[in-house]
Amino acid sequence: MRMFQLLRLAAQAEALRWKRTGRGYAIQAGLGVAAGVFGLMLLVMLHVAALIWLARGRDPAMAALIVAGIDLVLAGILGWLAARHVEDPVAVEAQRVRDDALRQVGDTTAKAAMVLPLLRSQSAKKGLVGAALTAAVIGLLARR
C-alpha cells in the first residue's frame, strides 16, 4: 500500500512541476511578445520622427524622439525580464519530492525482492544467494 502512495505522490509532484514550469514559460513568452510590440512601436516612432524632422522643424521631431526613447527603455526592460531564467522554487521542490518518492519505491521494491526468494526457496542458502542477487539487480535499476 505504501508503494502506491509513493507512486501517487511522485505523479502529483511531477504534474505540479510541469504545471509550474509551463506557467513560467508562458510568462516569459508574454514578456517577450510585449518587448517585441514596444520594439515595433520604437521603429514606427523613429520613422515618424525622421519624417517630421525632414518635413518641418525640430519641435515635433523632438517630441517623437522622446517617445521613441521611452519605447526603447521599455523594450529593453521587458526584453531583459523575458531573457532571464528564474527557476520556480515550487517546481524545484516538486521535483525533489518526486525523486524522493521514486527512490523510496525502488528501496521498497528491492526489499520485497530480497524477501520473496527466501519464502519460495526450499533451501535457505540458495534463497539467500538468490535474494542478494535480486536485490543487487533491482537496486542498480532503481538508482538509474
Q: Where are the domains of the chain?
A: 2-143
pLDDT in tens, 100-136: 888 888 777 777 666 666 666 555 555 566 666 677 7
Grid coordinates in use for 79? 526584453
Q: Rounded to two decimals, what is the model's pTM?
A: 0.40
pLDDT in tens, 30-73: 999 999 999 999 888 887 776 676 666 666 777 677 767 877 88
Long-range CB contact pairs, 129-135, < 8 A, 24+: 135/110, 135/111
List of residues 6+ apart from 2 with CB closer than 8 A = 108
Position 29 pLDDT exceeds 60: yes
